[in-house]
Structure 1
Amino acid sequence: MKWTGKAILPHFGHLRPDNVVKKTCIEYETLRRAAGKSQGTVHTELGHLRSALKFACDTRMIETAPKIWRPAKPLTDKRILSAGEARALINGAIEPHIRIALILLLGTAGRVGAILDLTWDRVDFDRGTINLRLEDSQTRKCRAVVPMNPSTRAALDVAYRAALSEHVVEYAGGQIKSIRKGFQGAVTRSKIGHVRIHDLRHTAAVTMLASGVPLEKVSQVLGHSNTAITFSTYGRYLPEHMTDAVNVLDFMNLKAHR
């Protein structure tokens, strides 16, 4: 919120709440887009302004919170890898710590922060589980306890035998803060085109759903608080889930409507 305030306050800071109208919001969008900011950034910044004003109203700092106009939230350009592309990406990782990180990202659907935080005391080989949760975590985004699949278990077994620290993803006995450079190297060597780290989580989610894994289970693996979040994020990738519904609307099929 403080970071967003640096952009918001020069435009809105001198205004009374009742002076914040659609026109001022549109003017703000025009200025920010001219400064090279994306539509998504403007959407987020104005959302923070709305939250701040709502808080001010709830705490009776102001009488009413104005309605904040925002540009539409843009659709994300998620890249979903095929199984072959996922294997090529992993094989493109020449550094052991990048390879294990990629296997975990794809094999657990975890966020990169959770994977880099993972320590060996939360890897249970006996039960076959990986606990991505932190007891003292302050993040709003939930983390899950995920079962190991065979490939992930095999990779973890190799990594554990060579471990020099408590962290699963390590380099020279130290914790890794970022794998961005190594990840881009693997992408380049794999020749699969543009991919972002977070696309691996999207790939895992869509792959599970496309394989018929129930939405409730996919939601648990992703650490979502409810299935509505999972569906709103990934439902558009699976229009076939509505096939049985629209088949009922086949009024030209006499057998279906006897």
Structure 2
Amino acid sequence: MPDISIGRFRGGFCVYWHEDGKRRRYQLEARTRAAAEPEAIDVYRRETISQQRETASVTEIWEAYRQDLGGKPTAKTMGSTGKAVLEHFGAYRPDQISTALCRAYAKKRKAAGRSQGTVHTELGHLRSTMRFALKERIIDRAPEIERPAKPTPKERYLEKEEIAALIEAASAPHIKLAIHLLFATAGRVGAVLDLTWDRVDLDRGIINLRLNDAKTRKGRAIVPMNDGIRAALQTAKNAALSDYVVEYSGGQVKNIRKGFEAACTRAKLENVTLHTIRHSSAVAMVSNGVPLEKVAQYLGHSNVAITYQTYARFAPGHLQDAAEILDFVELRQAQ
């Protein structure tokens, strides 16, 4: 829903908004500001959304959903995924979307060389768009969006020697610091690149990856420093030219992919992505006996079940007591 405003008009209240470069204004019956606000929403829906029920295309709803998301990261991502999704679905109305249409899309994207994970994400954005349309009463029923199964997470993780080699292979100081932070915090790359010095407490040894504005849905944690990252941060702090911990020429670094891939090449590491770092840190903690509940907190997981599902198999002795109970051969021999 675009921004709507409430103003004074003819001794009462009115609601207005801009559409196609023109301002639309409607008198409200409400006599107080509190009563005007819910009435304004009803008027907007009556005059715009309700008129779209029979004609709104996927493209129109997609853009309305992106506007509704505002500054959230998903809105930016949908600007990219929408290129393929809208080319295929854009001209259709929601009630015209079928399972066959979804399968045709998946087949076309696969033929174009796109991974199953990419197609899963793209169709997931379409599903979210349809749910938005249902919530906003643009449609009476959300169509079923069939999408391929989410691929199994990659098992690649780095051993201690590989981690040291990767950090050493990063030539640019900001790339080296970013990679070191990723390993030390087990954080996502966005959280590390967003990190500012006011959330780094060198005296207490704490790194706060959380954002106060809650723009992201992905969990972010507050974690302690180890000696290695504390020393690296102290060096970076002494040379800091901006508020951002990972900086280049006094400005925030938005992307480290090229520098990271170059470091991987120099370290002779294959099949390694930025997410491999977070996965490697989690595996290192679990395999060295850190309780899964603590690992969940370190990773910023809101549900420890996610941590168990992903990392329990790396825990030494996990379920070993259960396995011993099921040793029926040993039991029979003892008898």
Q: TM-score, normalised by structure 2?
A: 0.69
Q: Among 96, 101, 115, which residue is 1:24 paired with?
A: 101
What letter is aligned with 1:107? Answer: A
Would the aligned equivalents of 2:287 and 2:316 in 1 still touch at CA under 8 Å? no
- Residue 35 of structure 1 is aligned with which of 85, 88, 112? 112
Partner letter of residue 188 of structure 2? R
Select the residue among 147, 153, 159 that pairs with 1:82: 159
Once the two structures are TM-superposed, the CA of residue 112 in structure 1 deviates from its matched residue by 1.3
C-alpha separation between the residues in 2 aligned to 1:186 and 1:131? Answer: 26
Contact kept? 1:250, 1:256, Cα under 8 Å = no
Q: What's the CA shift for 1:255?
A: 7.3
Contact 1:248 1:256 in 2 (8 A): no
Say whether 1:136 aligns with 2:210: no
Which residue number corresponds to residue 178 of structure 1?
255
Alignment-derived partner of residue 145 in structure 2: 68
- 1:55 positional shift: 3.5
* Residue identity in the other structure for 1:161: N
Matches within 5 A, 1:152-163: 152-163=229-240
Separation of aligned partners in 2, 1:239 and 1:25: 43
Shift of 1:107: 0.4
Q: 1:147 to 1:65 in 2, by over 3 A?
A: same
SS of the residue corresponding to residue 165 of structure 1 reads coil
Q: CA deviation at 1:233?
A: 3.3
Q: Secondary structure at the match of 1:146?
A: strand
For residue 308 of structure 2, what is the aligned residue in structure 1?
231
2:126 aligned residue: 49
Question: Which AA in structure 2 matches 1:144?
Answer: A
> Does structure 2 conserve the Cα–Cα contact (< 8 Å) formed by 1:57 and 1:64?
yes
Q: Percent identity?
A: 59
Q: What residue is the counterpart of 1:125 in the other structure?
A: 202
**Partners of 1:130 and 1:146 within 8 A in 2:** yes
Equivalent positions of 1:209-248 (< 5 A) are 209-238=286-315, 241-248=318-325
Query: Residue 135 of structure 1 aligns to which amino acid in structure 2?
Result: N
| SS at structure 2 position matched to 1:100 | helix
Distance 1:159 1:54, change over 3 A: closer
Matching residue's letter, 2:186: A
* Structure 2 residue identity aligned to 1:101: A
Q: What SS does the corresponding residue of 2:270 show, helix, strand or coil?
A: coil
Bigger RCO of structures 1 and 2 (CA < 8 A, at least 6 apart) = 1
Other structure's SS at 1:254 match: helix
Match of 1:189 in 2: 266
Match of 2:222 among 145, 170, 183: 145
- The answer to whether the 8 Å contact 1:251/1:257 transfers is no
Superposed CA deviations along residues 206-245 of structure 1, whole A, max 9, x for unmatched, are 1111111111211111112111222333345558523332
SS in 2 for 1:253: helix
Q: Report the AA paired with residue 128 of structure 1.
A: G
Task: Classify 1:164/1:37 alpha carbon distance in 2 versus 1 (closer, same or farther; 3 Å).
Answer: same
Instruction: Confirm or deny: 8 A CA contact 2:170 2:259 kept in the other structure.
Output: yes
C-alpha contact (below 8 Å) 2:288/2:315 kept by paired residues: no
Structure 1 residue 28 displacement after superposition: 2.0
Cα distance in 2 for residues equivalent to 1:3 and 1:187: 27
Q: 2:53 maps to which residue?
A: none
Q: What stretches of structure 1 of length at least 5 have no aligned partner?
A: none
Change beyond 3 A, Cα 1:138–1:25: same
TM-score by length of 1: 0.87
Aligned length: 258
After TM superposition, give the deviation of residue 128 of structure 1 in Å: 0.9
